[in-house]
Amino acid sequence: MFQVTTGDWYNIGDDRMKGYIFGEQIEVVSDLALTEKSSFREISQYLWENVQYYGNQVKPVILGKLLEDKINDLEKVYLVVTDQNETVKEREKYSLYSGELIKY
């Protein structure tokens, strides 16, 4: 999740169009004025490389409703991040840099 300048939070990974409505990711791209970065991986890499500026505007989606509801039942939470080979099509959705942001 990324907090844009209006104060609204948007899901960085939501790149799906719903009819004529763009996914939340485009709101983040627009707010950051990223003209050449548009995939989840590129956006999260940009945020990680500029974490000193944007660190307070980022929060992981995983710290949402599920953890909120189950927090008292959990002893540990393991987060796994990946960095696949460049030939893997789904690499643009992988979580390498988002994992670094969560650790921050």
Q: Can you tell me the distance from the alpha carbon of 52 to that of 61, in angstroms, rounded to the nearest whole number?
A: 20
Closest CA to 16 of 8, 26, 7, 2: 26
Residue ranges, the chain, pLDDT below 50: none
Over the stretch 57-78, which tens digit does the pLDDT of each residue have?
Answer: 998 777 667 777 888 998 887 8
* Whole-number pLDDT of residue 78: 82
* Whole-number pLDDT of residue 21: 58
* Whole-number pLDDT of residue 63: 63
Q: Can you tell me the distance from the alpha carbon of 14 to that of 4, in angstroms, rounded to the nearest whole number?
A: 15
* Whole-number pLDDT of residue 64: 65
pTM of the model: 0.74
